[in-house]
Chain A
Amino acid sequence: NAGVMQNPRHLVRRRGQEARLRCSPMKGHSHVYWYRQLPEEGLKFMVYLQKENIIDESGMPKERFSAEFPKEGPSILRIQQVVRGDSAAYFCASSGRGYFYEQYFGPGTRLTVT
């Protein structure tokens, strides 16, 4: 039973470029969450999605960030016109249901903006 998969594991982008991070949830899971971890800090919630729906994006920066979870394929976190402050580890988690259930995390994508 494959766990949550994220790719790429490491991504280097120059300022102004776009970053696309992918997350494939565990088999049978339809709830996906994205978190960001800045150096020396804990994780911060960004967005919660179900298939084809954004349920809660209260943690997403208002500009340049977007997320989707299409009917087919992985969830995508997209960062346009990246800046140095976007450098962080981005973790995706999935769960079988939204409330009361464990979230299983992927290995993360480490984004470095140069």
Chain B
Amino acid sequence: SQQGEEDPQALSIQEGENATMNCSYKTSINNLQWYRQNSGRGLVHLILIRSNEREKHSGRLRVTLDTSKKSSSLLITASRAADTASYFCATDPDSGGGADGLTFGKGTHLIIQP
């Protein structure tokens, strides 16, 4: 079953507006990470939030984590055309020494209209 699932699947907003994406997951985690992928390119790591953190900022990015609801949100403020990309959340499950691979959702495709 899908561990991380982003919502919405696609989002189109005007340049300058804020964009919010959500991620839900199913099992307990060590950390949750957000990645960006431009079309045809590799993933770029944006931010990591640990399970004992509730909020984290990096530039125009703000990530929240609610472990009781098993959800996270990524907020991009003052969006720019260059923010157009797919955004993935990835969870590092607390599997007690098992797989260390991240589990990714299908992503939110964000389009910033100039």
Contact = CB atoms under 8 A, between A and B. Distances in A.
A6 B41 CA distance: 12
Interface residues of A, number: 31
Interface string A75-110: 000000000000000010100001111111111100
Contacts of A33: 100-102
B101 A100 contact: no
A48 B101 CA distance: 7
B30 A99 contact: yes
Nearest to A55: B100
Contacts, number: 70
Interface centre among A55, A93, A103 (most CB of B within 10 A): A103
A111 B26 CA distance: 31
Interface residues of B, number: 25
Nearest to B48: A102
A6 B102 CA distance: 19
Given A58-B99, A59-B99, A99-B30, A105 B42 contact: yes
B34 to A, nearest CB: 11
Interface stretch (B59-67, B68-76, B104-112): B104-112
B98 interface: yes
Interface string B10-48: 000000000000000000001101010000011111001
B102 to A, nearest CB: 6
Interface in A1-25: 4, 6
Contacts of A47: 101
A99 B92 contact: yes
A105 B42 CA distance: 6
B103 interface: yes
15 contacts: A33-B100, A35-B101, A40-B106, A43-B88, A43-B102, A43-B104, A44-B104, A45-B101, A56-B100, A56-B101, A91-B42, A93-B43, A99-B100, A100-B30, A102-B33
Interface of A: 4, 6, 31, 33, 35, 40-48, 55-56, 58-59, 91, 93, 98-108
Given A45-B103, A91-B42, 14 more contacts: A33-B100, A35-B102, A35-B104, A42-B104, A42-B105, A43-B88, A43-B90, A44-B104, A48-B99, A48-B101, A58-B98, A100-B30, A103-B102, A105-B35
